[in-house]
Amino acid sequence: MVRPGNLIILESTSPPGTTAKLAETFYGSGDLQPGDLYLAHAPERVLPGRILREVVENARIIGGHDAPSTEVCAEFYRTFVSGALHLTDARTAETAKLVENAYRDVNIAFANELSLLSDELDIDVWETIELANRHPRVEILKPGPGVGAHCIPVDPWFLVATAPESTTLIRTARGVNERKPDWILERALRHAERFKDPVIACLGLAYKPNVDDMRESPAIDIARGSKDSGKAALRVCEPYLESHDDFALVDHDTALHDADIVLILVAHDDFRRIPRKSFEEKIIIDACGLLRERDR
């Protein structure tokens, strides 16, 4: 039961205006009057595997529905947060969290688009980015198989939905990253046409290295597309899972043994230890640059 004087904090990422709509819901019931509650948005910023530490140490944005809500919410977080508290209004706090992930998505999209461009120009995207980053004011990210997890692939769409005419770049970046798994899959299946009974090995299913988190993973989309195509036998290795509903998992030695085409989709440390000779005489599509980084 919500009572006058309660502090209600929304930490989940949400579209701009969500806190205001929450206030309308509470105050529209007739039981509460504006100002009876303290309502605020304080978006979480935590990395899986470091949640307890980052809840305390990370800086927090505190955005209240009104000034008293901002102050009361800040007082609450000061009891356990050692990081800086940045006070603002709720709509700005909601937008700032979305902007953080949209920024990352746009920058990843630039790197992913460079990988497509480099393929057309028949040049090494990793060397191209490395050379471009020699410029003191350039810091291009690394391309990959796409973008996964529950934040970056989702949050930009909140901004696009809120202001469709003002978010052309954000929408375009989302499209680039969403198409990257299909581009990798198409390349693999083109190579498969060269073999009588092709075998494709997919190394990795997680959305990032060295975790067991599969949410929105582009690697899963690529592996599933390979399987559903019916154009090749499939071997899947994911060292951070014991089993998967869609795939029969094998170790990397088994995956590589009879593979004609190898898709390196996640830069797990386990894969960095695979001997180079295991990749010989195979078509390698290294979507995350693991072999280049390992052999440097």
Query: In what order do the strands lie in the sheet containing 233-237?
Result: 233-237, 199-203, 261-264, 283-286
- Catalytic status, residue 151: yes
Q: What is the DSSP string of 126-176?
A: HHHHHHHTTSTT-------S---SSSTTTHHHHHHHH-GGG-HHHHHHHHH
Checking DSSP bridges between strand 38-41 and strand 7-10, what pairing results, if any? parallel
For residue 282, indicate whether it is catalytic. Answer: no
Catalytic residue among 151, 202, 237, 288: 151
Q: Which two tokens stand for residue 116?
A: 């497509």
The two tokens of residue 252 are 């990397």
C-alpha R_g of the chain: 23
Taking alpha carbons only, the member of 276, 241, 242, 240 closest to residue 256 is 276
Which token pair is 173?
A: 């970046």
CA distance 145 to 137: 26
Which helix H or strand E contains 47, and what residues bound it? none
Choose, from 97, 142, 180, 208, the residue flagged as catalytic: 97
Residues carrying an active site annotation: 97, 151
